[in-house]
């Protein structure tokens, strides 16, 4: 089974739905995080239709130097949020006070990015949450993922080498990326203060106990 299909089975219900991005490489979903890929998150965001940012958003910092920022009119953006384009904020998503959304981030419908949480070059599929003091770097979060308070998704090896992953068959694969955090499957619950090492994969419906340190394949 393709890795994308295994980790994100709910995607089959969103075929040709422009509310989530297109994942070209089903066996290597991390390719969407690579700016050199023609279907990278950044490039797909830049191609979206944009009617401008609603004037109701005040006391927030918007930087469109590197690409457009697309915000659905129903999204809630609290005070003192910083958003750097290219970025997409979906329907009914809530970006809470003092969150930091960095370039290349696609946050789908009904998501939550919490107070002082930081997200960089990552995809949140619908109904996923990083609600309390989280860091998410170069990662894909499936449908209905919840990160416990203080969870950190690390995206760079200490030795700065390219990041390896272990797939569902136990095979090691070089992603050719030097920045890559995690692939977190649908309906995963992660306990508070957990840290994932670069290249971590968590299979769907897994529950991670608090204060865990994760690497490789987890189920």
Q: Is the dihedral of CA 44, 48, 52, 57 positive or negative?
A: negative
Cis before 48 (ω within 30) = no
Which helix H or strand E contains 5, and what residues bound it? helix 3-7
CA distances from 12 to 3, 9, 22, 60 (A): 13, 6, 12, 35
DSSP state of 97: T
105-112's contacts with Cβ under 8 Å and 24+ in sequence apart are 105/41, 106/20, 106/21, 106/41, 106/44, 106/45, 108/19, 108/20, 109/19, 109/72
Q: In 3D, which of 128, 131, 136, 133 has the Cα closest to residue 153?
A: 136
Residue 132 annotated in active site = yes
- Residue written as tokens 């939550």? 112
Which residues form the catalytic set? Answer: 132
């Amino acid at each position: 089974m393709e890795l994308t299909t295994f980790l994100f089975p709910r995607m089959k219900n969103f075929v040709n739905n422009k509310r989530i991005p297109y994942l070209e490489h089903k066996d290597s979903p991390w390719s969407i995080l690579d700016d050199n890929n023609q279907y990278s998150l950044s490039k797909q965001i830049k191609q979206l239709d944009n009617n401008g940012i609603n004037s109701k958003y005040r006391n927030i910092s918007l930087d469109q130097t590197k690409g457009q920022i697309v915000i659905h009119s129903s999204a809630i953006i609290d005070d003192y949020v910083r958003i750097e384009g290219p970025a997409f904020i979906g329907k009914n998503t809530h970006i809470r006070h003092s969150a930091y959304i960095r370039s290349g981030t696609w946050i789908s419908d009904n998501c939550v990015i919490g107070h002082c949480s930081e997200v960089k070059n990552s995809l949140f599929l619908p109904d996923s949450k990083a609600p309390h003091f989280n860091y998410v770097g170069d990662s894909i979060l499936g449908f209905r993922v919840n990160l416990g308070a203080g969870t950190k998704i690390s995206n760079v090896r200490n030795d700065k080498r390219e990041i390896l992953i272990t797939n569902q068959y136990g095979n090691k694969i070089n992603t050719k990326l030097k920045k890559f955090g995690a692939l977190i499957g649908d309906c995963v619950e992660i306990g508070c203060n957990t840290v994932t090492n670069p290249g971590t994969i968590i299979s769907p419906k897994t529950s991670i106990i608090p204060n865990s340190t994760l690497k490789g394949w987890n189920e």
